[in-house]
Structure 1
Amino acid sequence: MTRVTATEFKNNVGAFSDAAMREPVIITSHQRDRLVLMSADEYRRLAGEKTDGVNAEFDERLQRSLDRHSNTLAELAKR
């Protein structure tokens, strides 16, 4: 899991946006977790939106990615 200060994020928004496609990025302010940046697909999954199933390969890749990050999301939920 990537954790960066708000200043680091501001100065490297592109790099951290790319990183958020792979795993959540926690953005801190004054040494406290403030925001979590994640992919839109991950957000949709957490929000309970369903995929239409048209692209099964994409759905499978997405599910593998979500499974890979489930521990990170569980850790974040505890905070």
Structure 2
Amino acid sequence: MTRVSATEFKNNIGTYSDAAMTEPVIITSHQRDRLVLMSADEYRRLTGLRDGITDDDKERISRGLERHRNTIIELANR
């Protein structure tokens, strides 16, 4: 598993996005694990979501993304 600082991730987002297609990438802040970047397929496997995403699934995903939005923006701006 790859571990990278938020600054390194921000500066090389393409590299780490590509890496996340094959293994999770842990993004750290102040030497603490903060986020995990993974492929959409792996996310679906872990959450049990399938190709037929229901409206309830979409709403749940949307709420989760919004909950983490500020953290992602904050890390990107560091």
Counterpart of 2:14? Answer: 14
Report percent identity of matched pairs. Answer: 81
Q: 1:18 is paired with a residue of what secondary structure?
A: helix
Aligned partner of residue 50 in structure 1, secondary structure = coil
Q: Which TM-score applies when normalising by structure 2?
A: 0.63
With structure 1 as the length reference, what TM-score do the two structures score? 0.63
Partner of 2:34, secondary structure, is strand
Give the CA deviation at 1:38: 0.1
Q: Deviation per CA, 1:18-38, whole angstroms, max 9, x where unpaired?
A: 000010000000000000000
Root-mean-square deviation (Å): 1.2
Deviations 1:25-57 (A, max 9, x none): 0000000000000000000011112357xxxxx
Matched to 2:6, the amino acid is A
Query: In 2, distance between residues paired with 1:38 and 1:9?
Result: 13
* Aligned counterparts, 1:15-34, within 5 A: 15-34=15-34
Structure 2 unaligned spans of 5+: 53-78
Specify the code of the residue in structure 2 equivalent to 1:17: S
Q: Residues of 2 paired with 1:40 and 1:8: CA distance?
A: 22
Partner of residue 43, structure 1: 43
Number of matched pairs:
52
- The higher-RCO structure (CA 8 Å, 6+ apart) is 2
